[in-house]
Amino acid sequence: MPPVIYHNPRCGTSRNTLAMLKQAGAEPEVIEYLKTPPSRKTLEKLIKDSGLSVRDVLRKKGSPYEELGLEDEKWTDAQLLDFMEEHPILMNRPIVVTDKGTRLCRPSEVLLEILSEEQIGAFTKEDGEIVIPAKS
């Protein structure tokens, strides 16, 4: 199964994660989730498979999180999912699915939990931070 990445090309973390996938030789299915949001069923599965809570996957910065008052504990998971369906920008990214698991790759190094360094090789983020040093 090729990896799947729920991607936002405007996000540096998402771009770095996609670059790591490609460097590993993967031809991932790239889903720009703002253009093609996942269905509720898919979103629920992504969250469950990642081992995170619905709240863990909510994006706070650069989204309507504060305006909607989503920090309030009164919101149930079902209600938070409703908000994520209505406002896909509330889904934190990138979420990557491989045959080894599903992860919210923030930071992008979390990808190493479901792909090995050997698969990726030496990798430097676009800001110059070394993720995997070159072997001597």
What Cα–Cα distance (Å) separates residue 82 from each residue in 3, 8, 44? 26, 20, 11
Q: pLDDT tens digits for 63-120? A: 999 999 999 999 999 999 999 999 999 999 999 999 999 999 999 999 999 987 778 8
In 1-82, DSSP assigns E strands to 4-7, 29-32
Full-model pTM: 0.92
Of the residues 3, 4, 11, 126, only one is catalytic, namely 11
Helix 77-86 to helix 40-50 angle (10° resolution) is: 120
pLDDT at 28: 95
**36 pLDDT higher than 90:** yes
State the pLDDT confidence band at 136, using cuts at 50, 70 and 90.
low
Average pLDDT over residues 49-69: 96
Burial of 86 (0-12, 13-18, 19+ CB in 10 A): exposed
- 11: annotated active-site residue: yes
